[in-house]
Amino acid sequence: MAQELDLELGLAPYDPWVLKKNLTESDLNNGFIILPKQDFEKIIRQMERGLVKNLGNGVEVKVHIIEEGPESDDYTLTLVKCRGNYMFRGGWYNMVKAKCYKPDDEIGLMWDKWSRRFLFHHIN
């Protein structure tokens, strides 16, 4: 009574974007974006403690838009925790207007611990 074993190995596509969000009208026009809490808390685990500790006061962070290439300048945004929500403001409005993002555009976000900045991707 021999049993057959399924030993097939497969690889799932790697998706580095820890946080994904479809942009809304309010994300684009209110000067801030509220980030999905559950996903953002996965990112926080990778960030420096001092940075996380000061989120209530707001901290300046660098955001690199990967579509612009490795040599492009980073945007400086303010990351803040307010009433239990995490949000980007202070530079967010200028960034989304400069990039011409629209409602329903999907974005991806991850923390690059080596360069100590966010990597931002316009998925579609």
Q: Could you report the per-residue pLDDT of 33-45, keeping only the tens digit for each?
A: 999 999 999 999 9
Q: Is the pLDDT of residue 12 over 60?
A: yes
Residue 2 confidence class, pLDDT cut points 50, 70, 90? low
In the structure encoding, which two tokens stand for residue 47, read together? 């960030």
Tell me what pLDDT residue 1 has.
Answer: 57
Report which of 29, 24, 52, 34 is spatially closest to residue 111, judged by C-alpha positions: 52
Q: Is the pLDDT of residue 27 over 90?
A: yes
pLDDT over 70 percentage in the chain: 94
Residue 14 confidence class, pLDDT cut points 50, 70, 90? confident
Q: Is 68 in contact with 88 (CB distance < 8 Å)?
A: no
